[in-house]
Structure 1
Amino acid sequence: MGFFRMIDKGKGPVRLFVGGVHGKEGFTAIRALKRLGFNDIRRGKLIIYSCNPTEYLSTLDPNYYMSQQGMEIIGLIEKYRPSTYLEAHCYREESYGRLTDPSRRSRDGVPPLIELERGVLIGSVSPHIRKKLFKREDICLTIEMPCLRSPRDEADGLEVYVNFLKIVASSETREELEERLGRRYPEQVETARRYAREFFGEYPPF
């Protein structure tokens, strides 16, 4: 189930997209990640990695980054030093309410995820790595969609998910990404900015 691909167009920004971060999410994420190709970046590098299935452990749990999976991801970040880091997740449909609940911050210590459309959710990556491993101006995002139950499953949100990955991959700065997403999802981008200000203060990732 593990998957690695590097698209290298020479000098320029480095992007790292990671799927299958925990549990069996990789079976869904890989469907989208494999649709990224050479023409989705203008310059720089795009590294795509999907982890092998593991027992589920939340990235909000600090013990995650002491697990083999967590250490693999930290190793990739430290090796490639990406200015764009994206985690491709999926969720069980019954978890939608918990992930988008406004009280998620008081319950789980992080802002709620934001729906783009068709059940596709976005947010920041775990604060356990956001501040420790990345610069203020770096792009650090999580994207989620309902998990596919079999390789033949289709989902309305898959195209939204793939299109989002392509926009992130082809954007070279946080400002460019916010401008492009803001044209399509103005309310969601403004909500993301507000959550970032509230949660990170003067350290506002998108």
Structure 2
Amino acid sequence: MSFFRLIEKGEGPIRLFVGGLHGREGLTTIKALKSLGFEDVIDGKLIIYNCDPTSYLSTLKRSYYTKQGREIISLIEYYRPSIYVEAHCYKYYEGLTDPDRKKKMGVPPLIELENGVLIGSVSPHIRTSFFKRTDVCITLEMPCIQDRIDTKVLKTYTNILKIIASIKDRPELEEKLARKYPEQVEIARRYAIEFFGDYPPF
């Protein structure tokens, strides 16, 4: 389900939130992305884009960004965001949080914040090719909605998106997340050091 919204509040950081990058994920992510409004942005821009359903192709594969991911790359190249969020949903929690995910997939496991909402960095292919080291690049996952919406999960997911929509830079993001999720932020920092050297956690 394609959806686009542009929120502008003068000078400030440019934020790009994209959802529904895999298969039918957009049917879930749109419910959170549509809830973001003018009041959630303090300054700068927030661009929200939710993709139409497509065939499934992992963003961890480089081929994603040369085929169906081209429209996402076009948005990144056009807006040049310093804060980038990929909104996803999942059906297999264990695969995303597996401690051996680095060995199997080449990336660290995602970290649960609460209520099944997971956070981590975006694919290394996009992180290192299109963004500066100081930019914020986040993958945010929630369980895919099946028959009915879990309002607790959706609220947690939406609240995290609202936090990211309000920040100006990385220090502010880490400060706000650490207030509510100190353990998880510390784990994210540890993963970043272990897997990427001096690269930031998100």
TM more than 0.5: yes
Match of 1:175 among 167, 171, 175: 171
Match of 1:117 among 84, 89, 114: 114
Give the aligned partner of residue 5 of structure 1: 5
Q: Is the 8 A contact 2:191 2:201 kept in 1?
A: no
Large movers: runs of 4+ above 2 Å: 152-156, 202-206
Looking at structure 1, the residues matched to 58 and 157 of structure 2 have their Cα atoms a distance apart, in angstroms, of 21
Give the aligned partner of residue 88 of structure 1: 87
The answer to whether 1:74 aligns with 2:70 is no
Give the aligned partner of residue 101 of structure 1: 98
Q: CA deviation at 1:204?
A: 2.2
Paired letter, 1:36: L
Paired letter, 2:58: S
Looking at structure 2, the residues matched to 161 and 182 of structure 1 have their Cα atoms a distance apart, in angstroms, of 16
Looking at structure 2, the residues matched to 79 and 20 of structure 1 have their Cα atoms a distance apart, in angstroms, of 20
After superposition, the C-alpha distances for 1:103-149 in whole angstroms (9 at most, x for unaligned) are 00000000000000110000000000101100111100001011001
Looking at structure 1, the residues matched to 146 and 117 of structure 2 have their Cα atoms a distance apart, in angstroms, of 16
Q: Is the 8 A contact 2:120 2:201 kept in 1?
A: no
Paired letter, 2:112: E
Written as runs of structure 1 = structure 2, the 5 A alignment for 1:8-157 is 8-68=8-68, 70-92=69-91, 95-150=92-147, 152-157=148-153
Q: CA deviation at 1:202?
A: 2.2
Q: CA deviation at 1:199?
A: 1.8
Give the aligned partner of residue 156 of structure 2: 160
Paired letter, 1:137: T
* Residues matched between the structures, number: 202
Looking at structure 2, the residues matched to 76 and 199 of structure 1 have their Cα atoms a distance apart, in angstroms, of 28
After superposition, the C-alpha distances for 1:20-50 in whole angstroms (9 at most, x for unaligned) are 0110000000000000000111110000000
Q: CA deviation at 1:200?
A: 1.6
Q: TM-score, normalised by structure 1?
A: 0.96
Q: CA deviation at 1:205?
A: 4.1
Give the aligned partner of residue 199 of structure 1: 195
Q: Is the 8 A contact 1:137 1:205 kept in 2?
A: no
Q: TM-score, normalised by structure 2?
A: 0.97
- For the residue of structure 1 that corresponds to 2:18, the secondary structure is strand
Q: How big is the alpha-carbon RMSD for the aligned residues of Structure 1 and Structure 2?
A: 1.0
Looking at structure 2, the residues matched to 31 and 54 of structure 1 have their Cα atoms a distance apart, in angstroms, of 18
What runs of 5+ residues in structure 1 fail to find an aligned partner?
none
Paired letter, 1:154: D
Q: Is the 8 A contact 1:136 1:205 kept in 2?
A: no
Identity %: 66
